[in-house]
Amino acid sequence: MSFTYKETEEKIKKYYESLKVIGRLKHRLEVYRKRKADIERKIENSVIKLNNDFKAVKYDGIGGRGSIKTSPQEKAVDKAFSLLEKNLEEVKREILFIEEEISGIEAKNADIEYILKEIKSEYIEIIEALYKYEKGTLKISIDCNMDRVTVYRKKDKVIGEVMKWLNFYS
């Protein structure tokens, strides 16, 4: 497949957009890991609060309840622990999903990331300003102390370089 200028530019834009997505996903991952640690700590320390209004249990077998004699407190503790364990499983599942999503995005970005690391830093500064920080060419020209035309030329040059690399490796 041969990449055109416009396709290469879109690929670079998607790369920088995906970096923002990865940042958000890593933040979510950190939140879920804290939540997981909190749930595990609650399970380990048995931090469960029960109501005080439970009825007493009759152990005489009268009343048709069968042979299982569990108090309402025991049932409440079992229910609380099973709820914590269910929440823990949901959090673990979400952590795995987020990690898989991050690794998928990073795998898609591997080629363009390698190519951008091989290009001169002055060109990368312009590309990052354009696509990562979404600055306009006028703002970049003021920040870099150059003409807008020079910014356009350097942008075209770096996109051309990336296009050559992409066409060479595809």
Tell me which residue range forms the domain holding 112: 5-169
Residue 128 is given by DSSP the state I
Mean confidence (pLDDT) of the chain: 84
Please give the C-alpha separations between residue 16 and each of 9, 39, 107, 127, in angstroms, as whole numbers: 11, 35, 14, 10
Task: Give the sign of the dihedral formed by CA 167, CA 168, CA 169, CA 170.
Answer: positive
In the chain, the DSSP E strands lie at none
Q: Which of 28-37, 88-97, 135-144 has the lowest mean pLDDT?
A: 135-144
| Total domain count, the chain | 1
pTM above the 0.85 mark? no
Q: Do 151 and 144 contact (CB within 8 A), yes or no? A: yes
Which tokens hold the place of 136? 């306009």
